[in-house]
Amino acid sequence: MANPTSVTLKADGVSAIIDLSTNTPVLLHWGQDLGDANEGDLLKVVREGVAHAELDDAQIPGMWRENARGFIGRPAVQGHRGTQDWSQRFDITRVEQAGNQLTVTSSDAGAGLTVAVTFELNAQGILLITQSITNDGKAPYSLGELTTWLPLPDYVSETLDYTGRWVKERQPQRREIQVGTWAREVREGRSSHDYTIVQLALTQGANYQQGEAWALGLLWSGNTRHIVERMPTGRTSFGAGELLLPGEIELGAGETYTAPTVASIYSGEGIDGISDRTYRWLRSRPEHPTNVRPRPLTLNVWEAVYFNHNLEKLTQLADVAKEVGVERFVLDDGWFGARRDDWAGLGDWVVAPEVWPNGLQPLGKMLKERGIEFGLWFEGEMVNPNSDLYRAHPEWILHIGDRVPPEGRHQHVLDLTHEGAYQHVLNQVDAVLNDNEISYIKWDHNKVLIEPGHLGQAAVHNQTEAIYRLFDELKKRHPGLEIESCSSGGGRVDLGMVHHADRFWTSDCNDALERQYIQRYTQIAIPPELLGSHIGPRTAHTTYRTHDISFRAITALFGHAGIEWDITECTPEELKALKGWADYYKTNRSLLHSGRMIRVEQPNDTVFVHGVVAQDKSRAIFAYATLRAQQGSQPGSITLPGLDPKASYRVNVARPAGDPKVILRALPHWLDGVQLTGAALAKVGLRPPILAPENAILIEVERI
């Protein structure tokens, strides 16, 4: 049976049209559904004319962008077999379609290589693309790159990605697309604080609610590369793939490398449309945490006790936590081995008898009596030189030759591609979980990978697969176990780890002002229920900035909420505010963790307005947060888009943790309650009270 000349995939207002008539898969269109477009005629209208000083025939680069087909940009496949087979021309050998999934296999017999690409357009309109390459030859093939590339319309003009550092993750940077290649590369061996999660391409002036947006996100937690390329011809494309170190993937005869899947996301409704599709995709998974149970209110005791563990103090914390309404208690670093500070103990995952002479069972029993779940901290991919493990097996670290990599936080990275090291970590963690009723682990990763070699060969790829395998095995052995991915805070937040962990520690910074930015931009691609957002102490230990509890509480509400504070030192007023906030979170988490995220464009950068609207538009909760002093004496209206324009809504201000600081002589009249249509809320809005900088209010909207 002959292969089709083209295939169209459609779902949720999106279509992907793949042309096969030129003996290579060409993605003719990916974006808004074009209706019953004739693929043959579409091919005619996108086929180029022939310009002077170019090749004699028009070239349409397919998925693999081979130089042999006349393409002079960056190819999708880069590699070689000695001095040979560095240039390929792949011709289609097989086409398979099952529903909304298409797989195209192509080969270059001369080069001894076969490539395959699978397009799957899921129910949420996200195009998932997976590529692989197989060595058909007898000699090894050294693969340098296998990138997934997608074309962009000519009218796309800007890119948006996110940069960052420790305690200031996910900061936006927007730029005009110009001729050349713009690459965001990560070589830390983890996705990093500087990771963009998704890279976006935008039409001119596109914002959160308007314009078209295309995004690529890589389902991977190791080294990565995101690229935008505009050719001198004017054509633009962008790509994503694993960044492979030299010699990292050496394919023996018959061996296959499968590249990380790329999620390709289109929105005709601005950047928030990208978030909406991504949220609906992730939430559709049966294992998504909110499909199992509501997200429990969490207390992490790191900023309360640090390394100073004792049952008496922890019992005092648990008593206050129960009073407040905490549902999960997480014991952080310091319970194991010689871990009295950060110089020793990593790698020895056994309970320290000098700190816990009767093991962790008394702590677990105390928490269970108070109806609170028990969570525990690990950093299983790391080892201190001052540890029993390192003294016994110094060779079990990632390294090259006889060199010892520079230390970071007085530690090295364990080589989990070494079976002995892998089994050591798995078995010791498993034993602790078997001995205690632990439902949750916080898994940290505090050092970048330096010279990440296994027996001389680059090993980031295999190390990444090893941590996925370890997390999956722990969950298999302990049904119901939840794992938080922490990496000095937000250093490993990505669309790969989201399929193996249940929560991300968004940032080590609990400063509410910084969190307004960090959470806003991390939530571009990660839904709030997967992002730990805690009320920290009055004065943040990373910035020394002080905030009222009302601002800290409203900021922490829009995520998987928790507390990271010595609450035994709270005043009665603070405890009352915490209790009110905890009750409010529990009452509203079903909405906060299921609705559509709305970010409202502002005329200046002094405020953020954002909220969550129920999928049926019956309810919404918005936050109005002042980031710094207002530019005008009368700030601009708070508009609330995303509601049913024809429906009437009751609008109120909620004060779950007390009142903000205001700078005015009289309050706006609507604060006592008002009824408006969705259209009026979106177009006229509400005149805000004049808040002091770094304050916020909550606005509740309910359909009448």
Q: Tell me the DSSP string of 233-279.
A: TS-EEEEEEE-PPTTSEEE-TT-EEEPPPEEEEEESSHHHHHHHHHH
Residue where a domain terminates, one of 240, 260, 283: 283
Side chain identity at 275, as an amino acid letter?
A: S
Domain annotation covers residue 460: yes
Whether residues 538 and 413 share a domain: the answer is: yes
pLDDT of residue 633: 83
| Radius of gyration of the chain measured on its C-alpha atoms | 27
Report the run of H or E that residue 132 belongs to, with start and end.
Answer: strand 127-135
Domain annotation covers residue 45: yes
Per the CB < 8 A criterion, the answer to whether 639 and 687 are in contact is no
Whether residues 418 and 542 share a domain: the answer is: yes
Residue 461, SS3 per DSSP: helix
Residue that is written with structure tokens 């200046």 in the block: 604
pLDDT of residue 61: 86
Side chain identity at 681, as an amino acid letter?
A: L
Which domain CATH number covers 366?
Answer: 3.20.20.70
What domain range is 340 assigned to? 289-594
pLDDT of residue 630: 85
For residue 269 the two structure tokens come to: 């409704």
Report the run of H or E that residue 652 belongs to, with start and end.
Answer: strand 648-654
- List the catalytic residue out of 19, 332, 444, 548: 444
- List the catalytic residue out of 333, 508, 511, 548: 508
Residue where a domain terminates, one of 594, 627, 652: 594
Strand order in the sheet with 695-703: 596-600, 607-613, 619-626, 695-703, 648-654, 674-677
Per the CB < 8 A criterion, the answer to whether 633 and 654 are in contact is no
Distance of CA 458 to the CA centre of its chain: 25
Whether residues 570 and 601 share a domain: the answer is: no
Number of domains making up the chain: 3
CB atoms within 10 A of CB 380: 25
Per the CB < 8 A criterion, the answer to whether 691 and 638 are in contact is no
Whether residues 583 and 696 share a domain: the answer is: no
Residue stretches of the chain with pLDDT short of 70? 1
Whether residues 440 and 303 share a domain: the answer is: yes
Whether residues 277 and 335 share a domain: the answer is: no
Which domain CATH number covers 180?
Answer: 2.70.98.60
CB atoms within 10 A of CB 401: 8
Whether residues 667 and 575 share a domain: the answer is: no
Is 508 part of the annotated catalytic residue set?
Answer: yes
Domain annotation covers residue 538: yes
Q: What SS3 string covers 196-215?
A: CCEEEEEECCCCCCCCCEEE
Domain annotation covers residue 93: yes
Domain annotation covers residue 419: yes
Whether residues 302 and 167 share a domain: the answer is: no
pLDDT of residue 666: 83
Domain annotation covers residue 527: yes
Whether residues 24 and 54 share a domain: the answer is: yes
Domain annotation covers residue 1: no
Whether residues 102 and 201 share a domain: the answer is: yes
Whether residues 527 and 653 share a domain: the answer is: no
Whether residues 201 and 61 share a domain: the answer is: yes
Residue where a domain terminates, one of 551, 575, 594: 594
pLDDT of residue 270: 98
Domain annotation covers residue 17: yes
